[in-house]
Amino acid sequence: MDKNTLKGRSLLTWLDYSEEEIRYFLDLSKQVKEEKKRGELHQRFTGKTIALLFEKRSTRTRCAFETSIGEEGGHPVFLSTADIQLGEKESVEDTSRVLGRMFSAIQFRGFKQSTVETLAKFSGVPVYNGLTDNFHPTQVLADIMTIEENFGSSRGKKLCFVGDGRNNVARSLMVICAKLGVHFTIVTPPALMPDPALVKTCETLAAAAGSKILITADTAAVEGAHALYTDVWASMGEEAVKAERVKQLSPFQVNQDLMAKTGLKETIFLHCLPAIRGEEVTAAVIDGNQTRVWDEAENRKHTIKAIMLGTLGLA
């Protein structure tokens, strides 16, 4: 692959990238993680700046972007909705044009997918989707990296998401798994199944890559899963429906019984965090010996660094 084809590109969803390009980012992520372990110091982002736009609060996404670029000589600028007029007094289009003149790249974490798409269209610099209601692409690259650290190649492995099948993480996992040939199952109640159009798209991609997509309400479908994954039952902005979500999703809690249903002793547990122990996952699972959530959280940093290095032409 010619890595120059990545320079200047935005990351809004993995639907826009080929399997080969995603694999390049994964390999680069593993490289920069090894560099960090060896204590190597690099200054690849010297002279580069990134605008970090946040409508939603963040721990891992913000810290990963700030430390990744900052420790290599770049300068991150955090901008919340209290700091700028994003879509208020000033249109998103105009904000995009201004930031594109001042920064090397832009990260957006917020609600509407259309906002990050507009930033990418009008800014003229790479724009990274740090989370929208539709997709969370930087998260799932770290998830795949974590799976590969435990099982080698992710191709042909089975990843099962249990919980709200419509949320941004479940949707993004479905896309990246379909691209990479990972068997992917969503276990969710009928009312929370992902939109059929995206499922159909991913089924087509998965078939081409040699894997399968399954959407079901049957928890028995976790059998054979190398990784069980869950997320909070009510995402940011859905606090009003929390009681309804608890009622819908309580039968889908990831606990020791569900982990045992995979039939594999080596099954690992993943969670994008923050987690609510006693709701979507029990303390025994997330704090037990099958959990890999802390490796997964650390990998947010390495994968985000790799994405920026690749798209800024610095790798």
For residue 190, which of 149, 169, 218, 155 has the smallest C-alpha distance? Answer: 218
Of the candidates 160, 177, 202, 272, the residue annotated as catalytic is 272
By DSSP bridging, strand 105-109 and strand 75-80 are unpaired
Of the candidates 107, 139, 248, 253, the residue annotated as catalytic is 139
Residues 305 and 237 in one domain: no
61 is in an annotated binding site: yes
Q: How far apart are the first and last CA of the chain?
A: 13
Residues 157 and 258 in one domain: yes
- Residue 63 catalytic? no
Residues 12 and 147 in one domain: no
166 is in an annotated binding site: no
138 is in an annotated binding site: yes
Of the candidates 136, 166, 183, 245, the residue annotated as catalytic is 136
Residues 127 and 12: beta-carbon distance below 8 Å: yes
Q: How far apart are CA 295 and CA 315, in angstroms?
A: 23
Structural domains in the chain (count): 2
Domain that holds residue 289: 139-296
Residues 153 and 267 in one domain: yes
Residues 287 and 155 in one domain: yes
Residues 15 and 42 in one domain: yes
Residues 155 and 291 in one domain: yes
300 is in an annotated binding site: yes
Residues 97 and 82 in one domain: yes
Rounded alpha-carbon distances, angstroms, from residue 265 to 199, 238, 261, 290: 30, 35, 10, 9
231 is in an annotated binding site: yes
Of the candidates 231, 248, 292, 302, the residue annotated as catalytic is 231
Of the candidates 109, 183, 292, 302, the residue annotated as catalytic is 109
Q: How far apart are CA 184 and CA 215, in angstroms?
A: 9
In CATH, what number is assigned to the domain containing residue 52? 3.40.50.1370
Specify the pLDDT at position 89: 83
Q: How far apart are CA 276 and CA 233, in angstroms?
A: 9
171 is in an annotated binding site: no
- Residue 202 catalytic? no
256 is in an annotated binding site: no
Residues 12 and 92 in one domain: yes
Residues 190 and 59 in one domain: no
Q: Which two tokens stand for residue 170?
A: 């479940």
Specify the pLDDT at position 1: 86
The dihedral built from the CA positions of residue 136, 142, 146 and 152, taken in this order, carries a sign that is positive
Rounded alpha-carbon distances, angstroms, from residue 127 to 15, 200, 259, 268, 293: 15, 27, 37, 32, 27
Residues 235 and 168: beta-carbon distance below 8 Å: yes
- Residue 109 catalytic? yes
- Residue 295 catalytic? no
For residue 21, which of 8, 33, 5 has the smallest C-alpha distance? Answer: 5
User: Which residue in this structure is represented by tokens 């000589």?
Assistant: 73
What is the full per-residue pLDDT of the chain (315 aa) written as tens digits? Answer: 899 999 999 999 999 999 999 999 999 999 999 999 999 999 999 999 999 999 999 999 999 999 999 999 999 999 998 888 786 789 999 999 999 999 999 999 999 999 999 999 999 999 999 999 999 999 999 999 999 999 999 999 999 999 999 999 999 999 999 999 999 999 999 999 999 999 999 999 999 999 999 999 999 999 999 999 999 998 767 778 889 999 999 999 999 999 999 999 999 999 999 999 999 999 999 999 999 999 999 999 999 999 999 999 999
Q: Which two tokens stand for residue 220?
A: 């028995």
For residue 194, the 8-state DSSP code is P
Q: For the whole prediction, is pTM greater than 0.85?
A: yes
- Residue 231 catalytic? yes
Residues 117 and 157 in one domain: no
Q: Where are the alpha helices (DSSP H) in the chain?
A: 19-37, 60-70, 92-102, 113-123, 137-151, 168-180, 196-209, 242-249, 256-260, 283-286, 293-311
Neighbours of 239 (CB within 10 A): 10
Residues 96 and 153 in one domain: no
13 is in an annotated binding site: no
